[in-house]
Amino acid sequence: MHPGVNCISFTGGDTGIAISKKAGMIPLQMELGGKDACIVLEDADLDLVAANIIKGGFSYSGQRCTAVKVVLVMESVADVLVEKVKAKVAKLTVGAPEDDCDITPVVSESSANFIEGLVKDAKEKGATFCQEYKRDGNLIWPLLLDNVRPDMRIAWEEPFGPVLPVIRINSIEEGIHHCNASNFGLQGCVFTKDVNKAILISDAMETGTVQINSAPARGPDHFPFQGLKDSGIGSQGVTNSINMMTKIKSTVINLPTPSYTMG
């Protein structure tokens, strides 16, 4: 709010929304939270999907804005996919970062408490726990929650930790609807061998970026990186960031000669 500030670029979450409300006419570039959806169709390569769910959902202990935050899988292939993901979760190592473990403590006790609140809500409302919930201080063991329903907090809120909900869907439209009903719109992904369906679903998803047959990712620095709704304002990336931090000014030269007139 200082008069000397003429541009704000911020990466974070709710704090970014608070900043934007106070910024007035100051140009903003905000990269905030996400609830990145992974839509899985019947014809998807489920081994590829499982590998990307592990990479997308549990790398950095899920503490990525572009992490897979909810899996929306067609009912007909859900059982097989869940079993494949469970087998991979069982192989993840848990412990201290200096031991090069796959899952390490989340950033703070308050973050761990928030994640635990989401887990307890899901348990009370009947989600299926694919692993036993386990926590030691800030360290939370990876957890896959199956049969999650829209009335559970974990279906909508961003845990920013190693807890991943699976929602079973019966149509593509149901998956798109859940994705677009979120107040976030950073990234998403769709797994299918049908490129036509992939493009149509990508067009329908209200997110800044859609990955086809791969987990969401920031991408190279020159790629545009943007979110919709509460996920942000503007677009990052080398060129886009320079343009955002540049003001356009036009100078028009009117030559001192008589102008032509009609008639």
CA max distance for the chain: 88
Helices (H) and strands (E) in the chain, counts: 7, 16
> For residues 48 and 15, what is the distance between their CA atoms, to the nearest angstrom?
36
The residue from 31, 116, 132, 158 that is catalytic is 31
Contact indicator for 75, 169 with CB cutoff of 8 Å: yes
> For residues 105 and 96, what is the distance between their CA atoms, to the nearest angstrom?
7
Instruction: Provide the residue type at 88 as one letter.
Output: K
H/E run at residue 136: strand 135-136
Contact indicator for 131, 142 with CB cutoff of 8 Å: yes
Considering only CA atoms, which of 207, 212, 188 is closest in space to residue 67?
188
> For residues 14 and 26, what is the distance between their CA atoms, to the nearest angstrom?
18
31 belongs to the catalytic site: yes
- Residues annotated as catalytic (active site), given as ranges: 31
